[in-house]
Chain A
Amino acid sequence: MNNQTASTPPSTMEKVSAGMGRRYARERRFRVYGMLAVTLGMVFLATLLFSIVSKGYSAFQQTYMELEIHFDPEVLGIQDPNNAAQISGADYPGLVKASLRAEFPEVSNRRDKRTLYGIVSSGAAFELRQMVMQNPALLGTTQRLWVLADDDVDMLVKGHIDRNVEESGRRMSDLQIGWIDHFLDAGRMELRFNTVFLTAGDSREPELAGIRSAITGSLLTLLVTLSLSFPIGVAAAVYLEEFAPTNRWTDLIEVNINNLAAVPSIVFGLLGLAVFINFFGMPRSAPLVGGMVLTLMTLPTIIIAARAALKSVPPSIREAALGIGASKMQMVFHHVLPLAMPGMLTGTIIGMAQALGETAPLLMLGMVAFIVDIPGGVTDPATVLPVQIYLWADSPERAFVERTSAAIMVLLGFLVVMNALAVLLRKRFERSW
């Protein structure tokens, strides 16, 4: 039997089956490579997210402490409770100090006293001022109030300062820890949701620093970018793809657009500095200029995506429209553009996400400034989320570490929302033909 098969030449089927094992092995190998690549990517992503979230989640909670505040007009130095200027200029830090002194009468040393005052955030005095200005009737009364604790206290409560380390080696003395434990044991110090982080602007004091101004700045910048780059990008793509003749000039333009997409963003920043700020005299640090520079940067992305979307519209639709006497304009705007819209929107949102995460060109435009106020318009000084992250990552205070990570979480959240929006829009506008 064996001899017989060996002597006759193998049939086609035998040849095919002989190679099948090798073919399948190759396929299996390819699958394994693919799985490995995906797994590797997922592992890195998971590591990144874990590192950010584990560092940053605690920033959404902040230590508050309960103080018994006696609104003593004498301490405040207010003679006339109806005088608004006096109320606004009064010595509110004195109230906090008095309260702390009453809490710990045994502290008499001048230096210890100053350390004691340090466990309450300097923001507490502003809060008291706000309260009295809104309600002058508080003067003379005694209130139990929850105020912000200092960032070092916060770090201790969150366990970022190790109590087991020798006293000389840690940021807090045993004395300070004793005071804090006094509050903790009495249930007068606890972690609460950190509203300051989401409602305040930047600050030198970590417990008072928030990302609201950066978020507002980012949104204003993106608004400018979107309202400039989408119409310009789509118009350029439609003209180049549908109307422009193919000649040396359009070839040159195409090459240049593709090149621009690869130009380092810092170069666009320098261009914006030279042209918009120095030549046209536009305001520094403003979302308007930032948005214009980011427009230059995202335009190539949008134009390339939009042209690809236009190219993918089947020619039969164009012929159908032209065949019944539609003009070129009608063909483009009634038929081609609606079909290309999902692709264009996807490209635009990808460009916007790119712009949202862009830092380098904005450094050139002065958007790296320390901005406490929340910008009210596109010409107000502002900073953006990634620049805020950069600034905080550079700050020495331990409490800024978690804020940096928390700001990254917020930025990633925005990116996820934008990309989800892109998918949603594509699903909504997608039509079959």
Chain B
Amino acid sequence: MTSLELTMEKPNLAVKESRDVKHDLTSGTPEKTVGEALLDAESARMTCRDVNVYYGEKHAIKNISLDIGRNEVVALIGPSGCGKSTFLRCLNRMNDTIEICHVTGDISIDGMNIYDKKIDVVPLRAQVGMVFQKPNPFPKSIFENVAYGPRIHGLASDKHELEEIVVGSLKRAGLWDEVKDRLHAPGTGLSGGQQQRLCIARTIAVGPEVILMDEPCSALDPIATARIEELIDELRENFTIAIVTHSMQQAARVSQRTAYFHLGTLVEVGDTDDIFTNPRHRLTEDYITGRFG
């Protein structure tokens, strides 16, 4: 709140005088999401209905319903602490590792509820892969990094097939030309951008259907970021991608749909072009025009 008040005092930001910008954010929180959060059954790959997440007492995510369509990139944007990463981590049950975390509601992939008691998280995470904020290659060779997933899932029947998967994944991640001569060098010796592409290669080597990306470019320089964004666009042909980002330019560049989160609620969802040119909710507009965040 303090940071908010500070920004309020800056005169150059009070552009739209007609609006009352000194509203209390909590009272401005909507009961219902603005825009088309739900897709028809045909085009939706993952469907989330009335998802609530609690960290102990803290109600981190409130009644979120959102569909993620086939072959589309959905960008989740919003100020820090609004629950977009938490929501993303619900989609492959990474939140299970946090003991006090408790999820209610219904999240399905291709009509199958992933929080069903019968569901095993191990194959689920192979189906819904994840790329993290900080590049986190294993302290092993580049080859071993990519080969690890296929190996534990038994995707390759012999060494030759495994090599094919590794080479194919590195090529799709756009890393092959840079590392083909040093496949057995440690993955941690690569540059930050290369490490992140290695992590993407590692994720797609398992053959997931959905890839979740949690601020994948926040630790990278603009050139490496551009490279990853290009890659995301290419990957869209084969994968469904949900990406959390703090960069609105990035959301505008890579995504087809954008969802704006605010204090644990989903405020507005829509086509990326519409959201950035013609936001319907005042909170969305305030955020994308840089009034807070």
Contact = CB atoms under 8 A, between A and B. Distances in A.
Interface in B136-152: 136-139, 148-149, 152
A332 to B, nearest CB: 12
Interface string A13-52: 0000000000000000000000000000000000000000
Contacts of B206: 324-325
Interface stretch (B16-24, B127-135, B278-286): B127-135
A376 interface: no
A321 B188 CA distance: 15
Most chain B beta-carbon contacts within 10 A, residue among A319, A320, A321, A432: A320
B99 A245 contact: yes
B138 A316 contact: no
Interface in B229-243: none
A114 B126 CA distance: 91
Interface string B182-196: 000000100000000
B138 A323 contact: no
B139 A324 contact: no
Interface in A380-433: 431-433
Given A245-B99, A334-B148, A323 B132 contact: yes
B134 A316 contact: yes
B99 A320 contact: no
A433 B203 CA distance: 19
B153 A320 contact: no
B45 interface: no
Interface in A288-324: 314, 316-324
B188 A433 contact: yes
Given A316-B132, A318-B97, A319-B132, A324 B149 contact: yes
B94 A432 contact: no
Given A246-B99, A316-B134, A432-B139, A324 B94 contact: no
Give chain A's interface residue range (CB within 8 Å of chain B).
Answer: 20 to 34
Contact of B92 (A314, A323, A432, A433): A323
A335 B187 CA distance: 14
Contact of A322 (B94, B131, B137, B139): B94
A323 B188 CA distance: 18
A123 B132 CA distance: 75
B136 A324 contact: no
Given A432-B139, A433-B139, A325 B97 contact: no
Contacts of B188: 432-433
Given A245-B99, A432-B188, A326 B152 contact: yes
A250 to B, nearest CB: 11
Contacts of B99: 245-246
Contact of A325 (B122, B131, B199): B122
B149 to A, nearest CB: 4
Given A246-B99, A432-B188, A325 B138 contact: no
A335 B216 CA distance: 22
B13 to A, nearest CB: 29
Contact of A320 (B97, B132, B152, B205): B132
B125 A322 contact: yes
B199 A322 contact: no
B132 A324 contact: no
B123 interface: yes
Given A318-B97, A432-B188, A324 B202 contact: yes
A316 B136 contact: yes
B135 to A, nearest CB: 9
Nearest to A247: B99
Nearest to B153: A325
Contacts of A322: 94, 97, 125
A321 B202 CA distance: 10
Nearest to B203: A324
A246 B97 CA distance: 12
A317 B139 CA distance: 9
Most B CB contacts (10 A, CB to CB) among A314, A323, A326, A335 go to A323
A330 interface: yes
Contacts of A317: 136, 138-139
Interface string A59-85: 000000000000000000000000000
A115 interface: no
Contact of B125 (A246, A325, A335, A432): A325
B139 A339 contact: yes
B211 to A, nearest CB: 10
A154 B70 CA distance: 94
Contacts of A339: 139
B94 A323 contact: yes
B152 A330 contact: yes
Contacts of B123: 325
Contacts of A316: 132, 134, 136
A433 B139 CA distance: 5
A199 interface: no
A143 to B, nearest CB: 67
B277 to A, nearest CB: 35
Given A324-B125, A325-B206, A431 B139 contact: yes
Given A322-B94, A322-B97, A432-B188, A327 B136 contact: no
Interface string B19-52: 0000000000000000000000000000000000
B126, B134, B152, B202 pick with most chain A CB within 10 angstroms? B152
Nearest to A338: B139
Contacts of B149: 324-325
A208 B138 CA distance: 59
B134 A324 contact: no
B172 to A, nearest CB: 15
A236 B139 CA distance: 25
Contact of B152 (A319, A325, A431, A433): A325
Contacts of A321: 138, 148
A314 B188 CA distance: 14
Contacts of B153: 325
Interface of A: 245-246, 314, 316-327, 330, 334-335, 339, 431-433
Given A322-B125, A326-B152, 11 more contacts: A314-B136, A317-B136, A319-B94, A323-B129, A325-B129, A325-B153, A326-B122, A330-B152, A339-B139, A432-B188, A433-B139
Instruction: State the 5 A-B residue pairs at the shortest beta-carbon distance, nearest first.
Output: A325-B126, A316-B136, A323-B130, A325-B125, A324-B149
17 contacts: A246-B99, A314-B136, A318-B97, A319-B130, A319-B132, A319-B136, A320-B132, A320-B137, A321-B138, A323-B203, A324-B149, A325-B123, A325-B125, A334-B148, A334-B152, A431-B139, A433-B139
